[in-house]
A = this chain, B = another copy of it.
Amino acid sequence: MPYELYYWPGLQGRGEFVRLALEDAGAAYVDVARARPADGFGVPALMRLLENSAEPHIPFAPPCLKDGDLIVSHVANILFYLGPKLGLAPADEPLRIVANGLQLTIADLVAEVHDTHHPLDSSLYYEDQKEAAQARAAAFRTHRLPKFLGYFERVLAQNPAGPACSIGATTSYVDLSLFQAIEGLYYAFPRAMAGFETRWPRLAGLRDAVRTRPRLARYLASSRRIAFNETGIFRHYPELDQAAAR
């Protein structure tokens, strides 16, 4: 039975971190909200899952992964669960815990990127909180972005197996998620990301290596890959972007 991924249609969002792992592994899955309502899928199927009053284990929000009867929610949790099944997690149990910690740091980065355009109220439009967004985005670009990227550069530098992967000697879902985060940051903050490759060369190498993985490259070139846009997490609002002071 294929996995079922439940996520909003029309944006990459948090669902994309799960899609990348499924696609890289060539796993069979249904992207439920993008599939046909006539087949029992579509957004109504997503809403039924979220509002189900008989389900014993309910999610707070998408993305969720359904594997048979089990509903797994939160990106890091989904990837922790899927990783070993997809061959995208370390073989060693303690290293899987370390991988989960890295993924949770990526989750924090993603939440902070979201809040650059929604610093006050996630139920309002960006246009209704633009002034606060400029302050939050400036703090993100100045303090948080270099802190997160500097940390992951250190993770690669200190990996005893070498800087090609964030953990162990083989590519894991953490590496795929780092690729996606870097791509998103380039989309949202092209000016702030100028100099990325010289400042964080190991991360740049990892991004290039992930991008050329055969199945992933085919996915990225396919119509299944939604383009970055201004309904997702990584949004390009030029007024929130600025080159770092030198």
A residues with a Cβ closer than 8 A to B are 53-60, 70-74, 76-77, 80-81, 94, 97-98, 100-101, 104-105, 108, 111, 115, 119-124, 129, 132, 135-136, 139, 143-144, 148, 151, 154-155, 158-160, 167
Contact = CB atoms under 8 A, between A and B. Distances in A.
Interface SS, A side: helix
Contact of A120 (B100, B119, B123, B160): B119
Nearest to A143: B123
15 contacts: A54-B158, A56-B158, A56-B160, A57-B98, A57-B101, A58-B154, A58-B155, A74-B101, A76-B76, A77-B101, A111-B111, A119-B119, A119-B120, A120-B135, A121-B143
A74 B129 CA distance: 30
A104 B129 CA distance: 27
A101 B59 contact: yes
Contact of A136 (B73, B108, B119): B119
B58 A105 contact: no
Contacts of A76: 76, 104
B60 A151 contact: yes
